[in-house]
Structure 1
């Protein structure tokens, strides 16, 4: 039986890793992008013509990069961050409802609607709370990605991710040079929790969700080890054989990113991937030490 995955946002950091892994395991892959091309359709094509025949699974990774330091946190940029997630999810849900050959829909969202708490450890059973911009976005994002009750031909899976760790993008790309120069360190106090996952594990979890007929609903896409920003920074510095001495003050982070965005870096909830583990998924990099060692070895090789 042929396996064909349609990926929204497939040209980014996570999308490239997922596409390569799917192709290596025998999948056909088509991307949805703003520009047409080989093995691509545009979002306009999708709205006009629906999901291409033969597609068996859909993954949505689309979304404007929130932590792009070159972009000011203006009303226009905030609107783009919002619509690039909510609108694409809505478009795909509508298209999937009319495509009985699609058997799995995996939508990537975030963990921001888990409100930071010093004692509580969240699992997938915990409801989200809309207490700031990012948490409200996550709630609307998942609402838009919910398949209607009468769509019975397709499983809907929502993977809530933390910070994605990998050598070609995300947080590591931004912190690599300071740590290499020996001036890297935690953000703010460093005591805030940092929910995270290695990009290889996230891609593996998406494929696991596509291929496991018993998987449906919410999965926490975070590593099982709960660490603070300071602990992760020390693990990364250790993997690079560098010191971890220079914390970046909270006011500098807020000056660069603004209050809404800096919350992603300066606060975080304790999250356990209970349903993810119960589904049979096995992490390749379950600890910060494992993840940082792999990333540094890849970059250095």
Structure 2
């Protein structure tokens, strides 16, 4: 298939592009910067949708970027980066003489575990130094997914004609608590992991609204993802983390 990927230059987009190409698909990225195998968002608006069989939108500011203060400016950026890109693609699809067969939006997934990026990139240094531990109480649920499985679910959704509706991008063992996750990461690195990060520190770094996401957690089970027939490569946390830190 010819697949157009919005925001495909980031951590998840790179993994998805590699998998799609490995499976014989042709990939064009939509990004802010021009380059080989890419079109810009301006070109998309000006010239319309290039000929393609499927469209995936991964574009969006990282909500939990610890380097950005949670103020009105950043909140607007987070919203517009998702809404505007989705609207641009939707309009281009609606105008296309031959619209694609598949249209996928990625709006909410578990903590993505993978080498060289994602949330784990911020966690590794303190854990390697033996300073890692649970966030807040540690009792909150901590949904996660290996990047190979996130790319795999997206590819499965594109290739299988029967997949429709909302799929949760989390691992089947995602009823992990934050404390269990910290212990498993410490074990994968051969380091202790019992120094908790107080909730006051999390609120100071991320702001009260964002801190809720980390301190309260959410229990997510991928029932529909499993029901579509997707086979996870990394269903268990221990093996997922060992692959990431190897």
- The two structures have a TM-score, normalised by structure 1, of 0.79
TM-fit CA distance, 1:98: 2.4
Q: What is the CA–CA distance in structure 2 between the aligned matches of 1:93 and 1:168, rounded to whole Å? A: 31
| Structure 2 match to 1:238 | 187
| Structure 2 match to 1:72 | 69
**Is residue 4 of structure 2 the alignment partner of residue 41 of structure 1?**
no
**Is residue 241 of structure 2 the alignment partner of residue 292 of structure 1?**
yes
- Output the aligned Cα RMSD: 1.0
Partner of 1:109: helix, strand, or coil? coil
**Is residue 214 of structure 2 the alignment partner of residue 265 of structure 1?**
yes
Structure 2 spans left out of the alignment, 5+ residues: none
| Structure 1 match to 2:159 | 211
Partner of 2:162: helix, strand, or coil? coil
| 1:5-36, Cα deviation, whole Å (9 max, x unpaired) | 11111111101111111112211111111111
TM-fit CA distance, 1:259: 1.2
| Structure 2 match to 1:278 | 227
| Structure 2 match to 1:135 | none
What are the equivalent positions in structure 2 for 1:53-72 lying under 5 Å apart?
53=51, 55-72=52-69
Partner of 1:71: helix, strand, or coil? coil
TM-fit CA distance, 1:264: 2.1
| Structure 2 match to 1:118 | none
| Structure 1 match to 2:30 | 32
**Is residue 65 of structure 2 the alignment partner of residue 86 of structure 1?**
no
**Is residue 172 of structure 2 the alignment partner of residue 221 of structure 1?**
no
Structure 1 spans left out of the alignment, 5+ residues: 111-160
| Structure 2 match to 1:163 | 111
